[in-house]
């Protein structure tokens, strides 16, 4: 990376105060920045740290007269810096287009222009891979699956048969999409497998973390809406539907046929029971277990999940239990 501050302005916008010709060779946090780095501060509370920083330039919310460094003034420094790091990441992790000779590509597969397919990738029959898609080594893409333009599939991902992934999707290492849903029928004390013949449909701008499993539907489709973000180690069971722009933090566990609305926030290690409906804009606190449907806009926490104000009162009482016990003992 080597850009002048003027060039960075052309990428993220804003107004330059000071020397726009200063050369920037890296991005860093305000604490770790060294000569050549650009960093950012969100508000005035970070000015003391900015004064001590060794960064060569800063993205700021307003011009700081006492800061004797070139500054790029923007309305939202955090967002502007995120745009810059996105640009840096694309440059740093860019893979050249082309198909590695060790990849195994079906003659019936269609690979778009500018795609990059790594070593030991297996692409099955009737697969369609869009333009500028990047597929890292040791990935399997099953028969009839489709991957949209500009998506990135990292190493060791398994995408089973007839899965659809939209544009600009990111799937991180070791995730599995389209494995069989956990469907069994009890027959004379034995577990008889119910074949899972549905599929998975993933929208545009979805990011799926590492070690995530998204099961295919029994008959129809498991649906992940546009803009959904799923953190590492999460599990999405068969026939689940997740609405646009929902976010699932690590270890989220969504049981079969649950319906998750739009813009729902699910914190770490949450479990949601099968067939539950979670309305739009709900927030579910970490470690909760949701055993029934939630109305839109609900904010819940606990196991079982309940309105967060109620759970907070319960937690206060639990901390007081030793004191309450001692008081009761005195009257026995």
Q: Write the burial class of residue 93 (CB in 10 Å: 0-12 exposed, 13-18 middle, 19+ buried).
A: exposed
The token pair that represents 172 in the structure block: 């991180």
Q: List active site positions.
A: 238
Contact 282, 261 (CB under 8 A): yes
Q: How far apart are alpha carbons 137 and 153 in whole angstroms?
A: 9
Q: Which residues contact 185 (CB under 8 A, 6 or more apart)?
A: 191, 192, 193, 194
Neighbours of 109 (CB within 10 A): 18
CA dihedral 315, 316, 318, 322 (to 10 degrees): 160
Of 272, 204, 263, nearest in space to 240 by CA: 272
Q: How far apart are alpha carbons 263 and 243 in whole angstroms?
A: 7
């Amino acid at each position: 990376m080597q850009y002048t501050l003027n060039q960075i302005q052309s990428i993220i916008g804003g107004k330059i105060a000071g020397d726009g010709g200063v050369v920037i060779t890296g991005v860093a946090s305000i604490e770790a920045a060294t000569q050549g780095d650009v960093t950012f501060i969100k508000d005035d509370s970070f000015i003391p740290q900015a004064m001590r920083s060794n960064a060569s330039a800063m993205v700021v919310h307003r011009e700081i007269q006492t800061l004797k460094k070139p500054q790029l003034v923007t309305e939202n420094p955090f967002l502007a810096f995120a745009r810059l790091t996105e640009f840096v990441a694309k440059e740093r992790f860019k893979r050249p287009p082309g198909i590695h000779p060790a990849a195994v590509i079906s003659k019936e597969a269609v690979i778009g222009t500018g795609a990059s397919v790594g070593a030991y990738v297996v692409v099955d029959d009737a697969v369609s891979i869009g333009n500028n898609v990047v597929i890292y080594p040791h990935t399997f893409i099953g028969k009839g699956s489709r991957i949209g333009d500009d998506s990135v599939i990292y190493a060791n991902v398994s995408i089973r048969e007839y899965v659809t992934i939209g544009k600009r999707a990111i799937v991180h290492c070791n995730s599995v999409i389209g494995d069989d849903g956990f469907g069994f029928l009890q027959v004379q004390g034995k577990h008889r497998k119910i074949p899972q013949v549905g599929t998975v449909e993933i929208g545009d701008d979805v990011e799926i973390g590492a070690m995530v499993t998204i099961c295919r539907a029994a008959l129809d489709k498991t649906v992940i809406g546009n803009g959904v973000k799923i953190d590492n180690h999460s599990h999405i069971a068969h026939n689940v539907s997740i609405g646009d722009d929902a976010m699932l933090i690590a270890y989220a566990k969504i049981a079969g046929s649950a319906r998750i609305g739009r813009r729902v926030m699910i914190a770490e290690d949450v479990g949601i029971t099968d067939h539950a409906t979670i309305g739009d804009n709900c927030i579910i606190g970490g470690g909760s277990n949701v055993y029934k449907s939630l109305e839109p806009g609900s904010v819940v926490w606990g196991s079982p999940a309940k309105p967060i104000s109620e759970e907070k009162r319960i937690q206060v009482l639990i901390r007081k239990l030793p004191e309450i016990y001692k008081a009761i003992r005195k009257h026995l």
